[in-house]
């Protein structure tokens, strides 16, 4: 099977080629452009395409892929909100994903972001590099004894909860329409309503998928129900937060700090070097201007272990499909 990788970076090539080894059943073509209706023709002659979080597998792009002979769409990530699943089904395209590769990677990053915001590591580092050893403006807060609210308790949310509850001594509460049966052993207690979590939490960390039901789950109304000075962290999907409402809350001083590894319009900038350009996205520029906001470039998943797991599962998915075998990671929508 020939597979075209869109949004391919050096680390993608390395991890997939290492896992593939000397096997000859799969042939890779690594492409730097993201997938969209303009770049879809690059998949000509390939049975499968492998895409990432910011590739655009909308209806038009899928139609073009089908015309090029593509049969399989392999997501090298857990989320699939960037794929028109109804159109894929109509066209007979099989979509597979990587539902779990290294939940610890994202969970640890989320906790690290909470620590950074609580203890202001990101402010201390450049200051000391410049020879300034004053502590003014670096006063932090303990995590121990604080109430941390988790929105979503899939594998990543459970891992984050365990670290925060058992490692830091935080009181961890969570909201999820589908509670995990073993959440208590992770030190997590569920609340019945999201409003209760918003009202009680000193720190809120988002760990849910981006669906129609969760889009802009953080909005002007939900922000109003949060504690004054709350810390908000999002390492899941940018579209979970209404950026305009977030900016309004920041301007009004609602948040003690905000950490974002994702942004709802990130596809124009993330995974690219724009250091010599003017950022045209006014909302992103505004967020970067707040001293209480810490933004990273969709880095939470990025560990050696996670990349290896992604490659293993993705290639396993594609091999099963090529042989006509059952694949447990088919996305049905």
Q: How many CA atoms lie within 13 A of 9 on its CB side?
A: 9
Catalytic pick among 127, 266, 305, 326: 266
155 is catalytic: no
Burial of 3 (0-12, 13-18, 19+ CB in 10 A): buried
Q: How many CA atoms lie within 13 A of 216 on its CB side?
A: 9
Catalytic pick among 122, 298, 305, 312: 298
DSSP state of 227: P
237 is catalytic: yes
Catalytic pick among 47, 76, 237, 264: 237
Q: What are the backbone angles phi and psi of residue 280, rounded to the nearest 5°?
A: -85, -15
d(CA 287, CA 284): 5
Helix (H) or strand (E) holding 7: none
281 touches 288 (CB < 8 A): no
CA 5 vs. chain centroid, Å, equals 19
Residue/partner pairs of 83-91 with CB below 8 Å, 24 or more apart:
83/51, 83/57, 83/331, 84/57, 84/58, 84/59, 85/331, 85/332, 85/333, 86/333, 87/58, 87/59, 87/62, 87/63, 88/57, 88/62, 89/333, 91/62, 91/63, 91/66
9 is catalytic: no
Per DSSP, the chain holds a count of helices (H) and strands (E) of 11, 12
> Hey, which residues are catalytic here?
237, 266, 298
């Amino acid at each position: 099977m020939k597979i075209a990788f869109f949004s391919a970076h050096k680390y993608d090539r390395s991890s997939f080629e290492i896992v593939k080894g000397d096997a000859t059943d799969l042939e890779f073509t690594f492409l730097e452009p993201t997938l969209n209706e303009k770049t879809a023709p690059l998949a000509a002659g390939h049975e499968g395409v492998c895409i990432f979080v910011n590739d655009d597998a909308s209806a038009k792009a899928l139609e073009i892929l089908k015309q090029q002979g593509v049969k399989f769409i392999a997501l090298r990530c857990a989320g699939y909100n960037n794929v028109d699943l109804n159109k894929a089904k109509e066209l007979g395209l099989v979509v597979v994903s990587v539902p779990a590769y290294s939940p610890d990677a994202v969970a640890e990053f989320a906790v690290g972001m909470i620590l950074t915001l609580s203890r202001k590591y990101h402010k201390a580092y450049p200051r000391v590099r410049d020879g300034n050893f004053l502590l003014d403006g670096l006063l932090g807060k303990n995590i121990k004894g604080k109430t941390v609210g988790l929105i979503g308790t899939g594998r990543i949310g459970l891992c984050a909860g365990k670290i925060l509850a058992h490692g830091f001594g935080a009181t961890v509460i969570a909201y999820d329409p589908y509670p995990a049966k073993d959440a208590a052993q992770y030190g997590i207690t569920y609340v019945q309503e999201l409003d209760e979590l918003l009202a009680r939490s000193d720190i809120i960390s988002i760990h849910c998928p981006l669906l129609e039901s969760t889009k802009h789950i953080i909005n002007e109304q939900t922000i109003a129900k949060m504690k004054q000075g709350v810390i908000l962290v999002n390492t899941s999907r940018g579209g979970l937060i209404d950026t305009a409402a977030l900016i309004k809350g920041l301007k009004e001083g609602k948040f003690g700090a905000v950490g974002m590894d994702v942004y709802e319009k990130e596809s124009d900038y993330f995974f690219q070097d724009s250091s010599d350009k003017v950022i045209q996205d006014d909302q992103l520029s505004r967020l970067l201007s707040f001293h209480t906001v810490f933004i990273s470039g969709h880095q939470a998943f990025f560990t050696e272990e996670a990349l290896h797991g992604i490659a293993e599962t993705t290639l396993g998915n594609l091999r099963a499909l090529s042989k006509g075998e059952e694949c447990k990671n088919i996305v049905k929508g």
